[in-house]
Structure 1
Amino acid sequence: MPGESATPSERAEPAAPSEPSEPSEGSAGSEDSTGPDRPEPPPRPAYDPPPAHAPRAPWADGIRFAFGTLTVLPIRGTRWDREAAHAGMLCAPLAGLTVGLCAAAVGGVLLFLGGGALLAAVATAAIPAVLTRGLHLDGLADTADGLGSGKPAEDALRIMKRSDIGPFGVIALLFVLLGQVAALAQLYGQSWAHGAVGAAVAGVTARCALTLAARVGVPAARPEGLGAAVAGAVPWRSAGVVAAVTVVGCAVVAVPFGPYAVVLHAFAALAALAAAELLLHHCRRRLGGVTGDVFGALAETAATAALVVLTFG
């Protein structure tokens, strides 16, 4: 793997010979091992298996990786290896929080200037697309085209790599953006604070869904691209901690709105992550793993689900 140095335990070394005074099982010195019906024990491996995930790089490298990969903000990454991917995907919710706050700020300015809740909602939904060059929306459209084709995994992945957008992609973009704008307009109709918190919650949970999708055990569908770079880079325990912190954080920011809002915002975060997990399960079954397009679809799915649930108040 690029960026990983082989540890001493990963280099194949011959097994150490056994002590003469301690005959091993199956040797001539054991009376029970000479029977014809006794199978010989399997050979002892000459090396220890490599770790299931890469070590974590310093947090500074992880933050640069997260912002350099998930946003267009001028934060230059210095490392793009598996160690940096490990730390970077743990920092992904921070990038989402930044994007959400930028979107909320633009929405607030439009409200202050008298633009109205609907215009503020449109701007708030547009800012994340601007700050990601539309990569997540493009991934959503490509994933919808690949899954909607009904073709085998290899053909579906080929469809997803094409630059054009098919009918399934157009439909997915239309309904996701309409859902986001409608939900944000309702939240901004309550107050700027509700809309701003909703934008922040959507941004954080969308990127937390990416952290969970990069956990150990989720394979890449292709040997190249962003999916292959980050697939399996995050340990289960670390991904769970990030998800728990995200849910708690979403609940805490709603404290000024009252007890019901605290529960609602926590539930919105959980529902968003659950919706992304359902899509991830379907992509793994149909495509064999994750790709960069799948990551984009997961982010947009989680953001939309969080915003929709927040309107239930």
Structure 2
Amino acid sequence: MKGVLIVNLGSPESPTPKDVKPYLDEFLMDKYVIDVPYLLRALLVRGIILRKRPKESAHAYAKIWWDEGSPLVVLSERMQKKVQTLVNVPVTLAMRYGSMTIEKGLQELHDKGVSEVMLFPLYPQYAMASTLTILVKAEEIRKKKFPQMTFTNVTAFYNKPDYIKNLADSIQKHLAAFPYDHLLFSYHGIPERHIRKTDVTKSHCKIDGSCCNTPSPAHDFCYRHQCYETTKQVVKLLGLTEDKYSLTFQSRLAGDKWLEPYTDIEIDKMPAKGIKNLAVVTPAFVSDCLETLEEIAMRAREDFEKNGGENFLAVPCLNDDDQWCQTVGNWINDWAE
């Protein structure tokens, strides 16, 4: 019997330092997130970051928390329920971090008699700290707990025509009533070294402005290329000229060089360039979360207005959009036939 496990990032149980701390510990101690030797990672995370970050992050989570719980979890659950009505195989939701574990999701499918699993990371673009860590963790659990199961992994869908159309249609719908000067595509940042580590050719990715446009097998696993490609295809459907949009990367950590340009720095400059009405879309996420609701819709808006901007629109993620859920349902049905 076939079944589907949809996996998103995860969330603390509540917006309190007590619950945020173990969540951040699990997340930041993941070797695919902070990819340094264990002892150095433990020193950095448990000796430095977790001394201050839980309180700061809890404050940020509290600003976006819903009565039903974490927005990312609630929106992912709504999507899963809609998709379930569109397919004839069981669809379960899990999170890479937190209490909604991948093991629980696989156990739920196992209890329903599922032996063939479509493993579906909810990330359009491939990255070590998102897609890869889900695939590795799921495989570890499968080998240990569910050896009779088989996986079909959903690859990055950054350029699939139906996903691109869903994204473009959603953006267009939200821009219809907003007289914007500029549309900013803000993707989650990653360290540049992650790009080089995932380069299967070991030589193509130079992050020099040309490698992302030069065909290569490396592009199947290159987050930077896939971000630019998503943007290029959406922009084409929207019919935007080059002066009407740009691409940046958000959420960097101090210390290493991360992908540039940086969202916060570019947004701060925009009012002085005559951009008074800014719309921001975040296509690295399919579900709204801390990075979209607090970092962009709150902090970036505040910075934009402080620097002379007048109107700011944070375009929602696809979330449980009907067209998007139908697309996911179609992918599942094609696989399950």
Q: Radius of gyration: which is bigger? A: 1
Question: Which structure shows the bigger proportion of residues in strand conformation?
Answer: 2
TM-score (norm 1): 0.26
Question: Which structure shows the bigger proportion of residues in helix conformation?
Answer: 1
TM-score (norm 2): 0.24
